[in-house]
Homo-oligomer: A and B are copies of this chain.
Amino acid sequence: LADLSPRKSPRQARSEATVHAIFDATIQVLLAQGIGRLTTTRVAERAGVSVGTMYQYFPHKEALVRAVIERYLKQVVEAVETCCADMIGHPLVAASNALVSTYIEAKSTDADASRALYAASSELEVADLVSAAFRRLHSAAARLFQACPDAQFDDLEDVVFSVMASLTGATRVVFESGATPEMLADFRKRMLLMCHSFLVSCRE
């Protein structure tokens, strides 16, 4: 199996700046040109270094995009985790609504980036990153609903899995269909209702 992590850590100020420049260039090319036009030459050119330098810090092109996607996923996951921690102990309806709203808003704040990264994340082998992020979302949500004073679930894990699969999967469909902000707002309202009414149906 190939090593997908960055190749070495910068030890001097110069190389740290280089890594940063390469990382930024990758984001810029990705958002401006899309994954299809992201070539190592283009990234290196934009970063102002040679291709060879790029390969000193990233073992291959895929690692570049993985780094960008990883940071993006982290940002979304942490927003949801913070929300879930804050809502511990609240009643079901409040917990459910906060979770759904926070997730959709985290995706919406930079909708163009979301769209570009959805496209990129499918092209390359990033299933591991996506499922790791999904697992963290799942855990945070499970803890949240576990702590609801007005709800007991027989099989919490499975119920939460379905909620999160719907929420993340449907959100992806909406972004990939190129929804307008109005459609997104409408979608958000319906997802609030859908998740809550499902959770109520599962409550014992």
- Mask, A180-202, CB within 8 Å of B = 1, is 00000011001101100110111
Most chain B beta-carbon contacts within 10 A, residue among A119, A134, A169, A200: A169
Q: Which of B122, B125, B166, B200 is close to A169, meaning CB atoms less than 8 Å apart?
A: B166
- Mask, A159-192, CB within 8 Å of B = 1, is 1011101101111111011000000001100110
Which residues of chain B are near A161, meaning CB under 8 Å? 187, 190
A131 at the binding interface (Cβ < 8 Å)? yes
A158 at the binding interface (Cβ < 8 Å)? yes
Q: Is the beta-carbon distance between B202 and A198 smaller than 8 angstroms? A: no
Min distance, Cβ A174 to any Cβ of chain B, angstroms: 6
Q: Is the beta-carbon distance between B202 and A186 smaller than 8 angstroms? A: no
A127 at the binding interface (Cβ < 8 Å)? yes
Interface residues on A, range: 35 or more
Q: Is the beta-carbon distance between B123 and A176 smaller than 8 angstroms? A: no
Min distance, Cβ A128 to any Cβ of chain B, angstroms: 11
Min distance, Cβ A184 to any Cβ of chain B, angstroms: 12
Q: How far is the CA of A159 from the CA of B197 in the complex (A)?
A: 14
Most chain B beta-carbon contacts within 10 A, residue among A36, A122, A161, A162: A162
Contacts A122-B122, A201-B193; A168 near B173 (Cβ below 8 A): yes
A32 at the binding interface (Cβ < 8 Å)? no
A130 at the binding interface (Cβ < 8 Å)? yes
Which residues of chain B are near A193, meaning CB under 8 Å? 198, 201-202
Contacts A193-B201, A197-B197, A201-B193; A187 near B165 (Cβ below 8 A): yes
